[in-house]
Structure 1
């Protein structure tokens, strides 16, 4: 009886840990050993596949609109895993500078949460949900495009709506 209960608890724990695995923390994925097929078998079809100049490719796993990450899985020309990074990390957001094209931004940050065009300013603003800061409020990273290039980047807080708390 005790063995069955222990086995059941162990199985549930293993399933929960597997369900919470993300590409950047998954021990089953090893750079230089794992292949693109392994990543796809574990995480499904990528949001986009970016070809790389060296013949490799990057598999994009976006979690927008609700998630706070975009996993960029870099594969070598032979299909082996080279590395995984979060496109929405602070370091990658800091790489967004005026003059970049929308494609350059997408290759770094991944698929955006939304796009809004502001007629009066002529700006097309794309945003991504990012990790909250110390205040605990939701945060967005915004990239402002004008005339087809980045004008600036900004961040904004998302304040909860009392009537619709899960709708931001």
Structure 2
């Protein structure tokens, strides 16, 4: 029965559904699980980031409707080294004025939204990061100037009345 559930979760994860992330993460163990284990449970990564030490970090964003983005670092030996859920206060604090879009994506993963505001002369990327006590979704926003550099960050609560 456990095997059937694992296969079902893997199939749903491959389709981009995050419902089984919790169970899939419990099956992965840094230092033991392999790159093949990660792919079996989460499917192909949305982005691969190559690191100076020969490792690669795979991005699994659950945007636009989810509130998580997993960065899974695979060592040069194809063994899982770490799993980080990066949509958190520590990662938000790393976003600094002057960063490029690539630098921001490397930290937070793919945004759920990208909007251009011509009057403000800025492009805003947004990540759904949680909910208020009322159930209204909360977004972390990164505002880019016309040079494609971070101008500021903010938060937004989508009031659903």
TM-score calculated relative to the size of structure 1: 0.80
Give the gaps of 5 or more residues in structure 2. 10-18
Equivalent in the alignment of 1:53 = 52
Task: Report 1:1-168 matches (<5 A).
Answer: 11=1, 15=5, 19=9, 20-22=19-21, 26-146=25-145, 147-160=147-160
CA distance in 2, matches of 1:87, 1:105: 11
Q: Which has the larger radius of gyration?
A: 1
Cα offset for 1:15? 3.2
For each residue in 1:14-51, what CA deviation from the matched residue of structure 2 results, as whole angstroms up to 9, or x when unmatched? Answer: 839x8444269723211111111110011111111111
CA distance in 2, matches of 1:150, 1:135: 30
Cα offset for 1:102? 0.6
TM-score calculated relative to the size of structure 2: 0.83
Say how many residue pairs are matched.
149
CA distance in 2, matches of 1:159, 1:52: 40
Matched residue SS, 2:131:
coil
Give the gaps of 5 or more residues in structure 1. 1-10, 162-168
CA distance in 2, matches of 1:32, 1:160: 43
Cα offset for 1:134? 3.6
CA RMSD, Structure 1 to Structure 2 (Å): 2.2
Matched residue SS, 2:26:
coil
Structure 1 stretches (4+) deviating beyond 6 angstroms? none
